[in-house]
Amino acid sequence: MRKDYNLEKRKFVIGGFITVLVIIYIVRLFTLQVSDSQYRKNADSNALLEKLIYPSRGLIFDRNDSLVVFNEPAYDLVMIPKDVMPFDTIDFCNTLQISREELDDRFEKMKKSSNYSGYTQQIVANHLSQQDYGRIQEKLYRFPGFFIVQRILRHYNYTCAANILGDIREVNAKDIERDDYYRPGDLTGDLGVEKSYERYLRGRKGVEYLYRDALGKIKGRYRDGADDVEPIAGNDLHLTIDMELQQLGEELMKGYIGAIVAIEPKTGEILCLVSSPNYDPSLLIGKERGKHYAELVRDPSKPLYDRAIMAAYPPGSTFKPSQGLIFLQEGVINLSTMYPCSHGFVNAGMRVGCHGHSSPIALKPAIQTSCNSYFCWGLKRMLENKKKYGSIGQAFEVWKKYMVSMGYGYRLGVDLPGESRGFIPNTAYYDKALGKDKWVANSIISDAIGQGEILATPLQIANLSATIANRGYYITPHVVRYIAGVGVLKRCIERHDTDIDKSYYEPIAEGMRMAVTGGTCRKANIAGLEVCGKTGTAQNPHGRDHSVFMGFAPMNDPKIAICVYAENAGFGASVAVPVGARIIEHYLKGRPGADKEDAAKSGKKGAKKK
């Protein structure tokens, strides 16, 4: 046969074609496999299911190591929409014991949620009971893409201290944006120490890497769990709060709106922080949380509002000791300086009323009898001393600086969210409100008796009491004694010395002691305890006067400093003083031993339940 050599050359075209193609494919393989690592990541996100393991949240104990808050497991049914296969909805509804409409409704809501993603866990039903959990778990294999995650629910051994403990809620979009630790469905502290100590309480989530096939079925552990991360349990909190005292405080304040703050002066530890009215912290857990929360928000008496640290009240006469300190420090008065009181401060057509006592009067008796006139004269003398200060404005700035050094006008920095700073006006404020150079001492004279523009939180008032008890310094008040495994946070126990000389505190304390033994706070006179006190009867535009008590005891080795503030309850002596006295007496006399245990038990509700 004749060979056509021209045609035979064509084998090179055909052979060359497939050779070039194979080379192109090899180059392509190289770019896919060797030079691009993205595919490996995609493969992992395909096949690896990151299953989160939630750590147990830190427990909370009180100052006597009594368990206050603990955890119980709860179960959520979740789905990963991408992995869900068509399923028998009737069977599913029966298993969940919900109606078809409700199921559709839930899916609808889920899809509308801003957190919705086909690739992440979406909650179908939360807070399942143990029985529901068992029933659903058994049938779950029929519904690929659905699974159950375990979470924790908080449980409370006491019905009190909700304002301190706070609660936990599901994170919202803002939380997730702010802190990338959170995933939709996670829990975070909402109020109280649950919020301010969230970082310590929450611990660290663990991760388990599992293989999942294209149908979403779990096929085993990735690398036999070599990359898994164990969850780390949250740190326990030990509070400074004495739950027994807290319990008593809340009972005593029943029927009143207001607050009690008790501080151990030497340490700044808050012994009780009562806000009234209060609520049972157990209301804000589980399925019903939303409903109860809405009710609490709507309640006109605002139980969610922690009056002890958020409410700014006129301090009334409890302010007077601070004024005496400033006047002594600035040399406006000395211990023998006397001012007249003709049933009040009368000057230049201005009158601030007072009550019956001898006149003229010196500092200690003025505190004892809560003389308005004395402190008005003192402030007037100070502000009008142009020789020393130059102008009333500069004099007032000096005054303000002392107040700030005593913890007024700014947040004290308590370790709870939402603290108010109260209000101490400055020169600029009055220049603006009354006009520059248009105001004189008389214009603002009621500041001297804790009225006027002055506002303070019950915490600030209690803190003033602690400062006097310490004779000149205070430790930042705080509610957490220490965090297990972490210790004491330094910022919580800073010592603040006031700008007032220590020696001036003693006469003030003596004045407050006199008020108890023979003045306005006689109801606080407890045998065997040298109680020092100061009443307050704060006028306010909302009706009856507020009843205030500020005190500490014992006088020479103070163990407790206190402020009781009862809104619209009338004279300080009528409500606040007896309440304060009970707290002081209970704390100092009802000492450890059998009675304490009993009291603690009666206050606990969880003990019987469990």
> Is the CB of 8 or the CB of 180 nearer to another protein?
8
For residue 117, state whether it binds another protein (rule: CB under 8 A): no
CB of residue 24 to another protein, shortest distance in Å: 8
- Smallest gap, in angstroms, from Cβ of residue 231 to another protein? 25
**How many other C-beta atoms can be found within 10 angstroms of the C-beta atom of residue 8?**
9
Q: Which residues have a Cβ under 8 Å from the Cβ of 163 and sit 6 or more positions away? A: 191, 192, 273, 275, 278, 306, 308
For residue 281, which of 418, 154, 169 has the smallest C-alpha distance? 154
| C-alpha–C-alpha distance, residues 108 and 103, integer Å | 9
Contact status: 214 vs another protein (CB under 8 A):
yes
Smallest distance from another protein to CB 250, Å? 58
User: CA gyration radius for the chain?
Assistant: 34
Please give the helix or strand (H or E) that residue 32 lies within, else none. helix 10-33
Site string for another protein, 244-283 (x = CB under 8 A): ----------------------------------------
**Interatomic CA distance for residues 160 and 604, integer angstroms:** 9
In this chain, which of 134, 220, 225, 390 binds another protein, going by CB under 8 A? 220
| 83 is a contact residue toward another protein (CB under 8 A) | no
8 near another protein, judged by CB under 8 A: yes
Is residue 594 part of the contact set for another protein (CB under 8 A)?
Answer: no
State which of positions 432-451 bind another protein (CB under 8 A). Answer: none
Q: How far is the CB of 26 from another protein (least distance, A)?
A: 5
Which residue lies nearer to another protein by CB, 21 or 486?
21
Shortest approach of another protein to residue 116 CB, angstroms?
A: 17
Cβ closest to another protein, residue 40 vs residue 109 = 40
Distance CA 276, CA 161 (A): 10
- The C-alpha angle 269, 204, 72, rounded to 5 degrees, equals 75
Residues 291 and 314 sit within 8 Å (Cβ to Cβ): no
Minimum Å gap between C-beta 228 and another protein is 17
Decide: 94 and 142 in contact? Cβ < 8 Å.
no
Contact window for another protein (CB under 8 A) among 215-223, 354-362, 423-431, 578-586: 215-223
Q: Which two tokens stand for residue 286?
A: 């589980």
**What x-and-dash track marks residues 24-63 binding another protein by CB under 8 A?**
xxx-xxx-xxx-x-xxx-xxx-xxx---------------
Nearer to another protein, 35 or 131 (CB): 35
Piece of 206-214, 239-247, 358-366, 544-552 that binds another protein (CB under 8 A): 206-214
Handedness of CA 89, 95, 100, 101 (dihedral sign): negative
Kindly tell me which of 1 and 594 has the beta carbon lying closer to another protein.
1
Among 91, 177, 213, 497, binds another protein (CB under 8 A): 213
Cβ atoms of residues 105 and 93 within 8 Å: no
Q: Report the alpha-carbon distance of residue 101 to residue 113 in Å, rounded.
A: 18
3-state SS string for 415-440: CCCCCCCCECCCHHHHHHHHCCCCCC
Q: Among 85, 90, 173, 215, which residue sits at the site for another protein (rule: CB under 8 A)?
A: 215
CA distances from residue 323 to 79, 132, 210, 398, 462 in whole angstroms, order as listed: 64, 64, 68, 12, 16
Residue closer to another protein, measured from CB, 17 or 410 = 17
Binding-site member from 219, 386, 438, 601 for another protein (CB under 8 A): 219
How many residues form the binding site for another protein (CB under 8 A)?
A: 40
- Is 22 a binder of another protein (CB under 8 A)? yes
Do you know the residue count of the chain? 610
* Smaller CB separation from another protein, 28 or 610: 28
Of these, 181, 211, 429, 571, which contacts another protein (CB under 8 A)? 211
Residue 19 touching another protein (CB under 8 A): yes
Shortest distance (Å) from residue 37 CB to another protein: 8
- The whole-angstrom separation of Cα 443 and Cα 455 is 17
Distant-in-sequence, close-in-space partners of 78: CB < 8 Å, separation ≥ 6: 121, 122, 123, 124, 146, 147, 148, 149, 185
Specify whether the CB–CB gap between 121 and 84 falls below 8 A. Answer: no
| 323 contacts 379 by C-beta, under 8 angstroms | yes
Q: Least distance in Å: CB of 219 to another protein?
A: 5
By CB under 8 A, is residue 428 in contact with another protein?
no
DSSP 8-state assignment for residue 123: E
Contact between 386 and another protein by CB under 8 A: the answer reads: no
- Tokens at 306, concatenated: 């922690």
Which amino acid would we find at residue 218? I
**Residue 325 CB neighbour total at 10 angstroms:** 25
Q: Which region, judged by CB under 8 A, interacts with another protein, from 3-11, 234-242, 259-267, 312-320? A: 3-11
Which range, of 12-20, 241-249, 317-325, 345-353, touches another protein by CB under 8 A? 12-20
Q: Binding segment for another protein among 172-180, 213-221, 341-349, 582-590 (CB under 8 A)? A: 213-221
Rounded (10°) angle between helices 372-383 and 320-329: 40
Tell me how far apart the alpha carbons of residues 574 and 93 are, in angstroms, rounded to a whole number: 61
Contact 290, 283 (CB under 8 A): no
Q: How far is the CB of 92 from another protein (least distance, A)?
A: 24
User: Could you give the string, one character per residue 338-377, with x where binding to another protein holds by CB under 8 A and - elsewhere?
Assistant: ----------------------------------------
Closer CB to another protein, 37 or 336, in the complex: 37
Which class for 382: exposed (0-12), middle (13-18), buried (19 or more C-beta within 10 A)?
Answer: buried
Question: Interface with another protein by CB under 8 A: which residues?
Answer: 1, 4, 7-8, 10-11, 13-15, 17-19, 21-22, 24-26, 28-30, 32-34, 36, 38-40, 42-44, 46-48, 211-215, 219-220
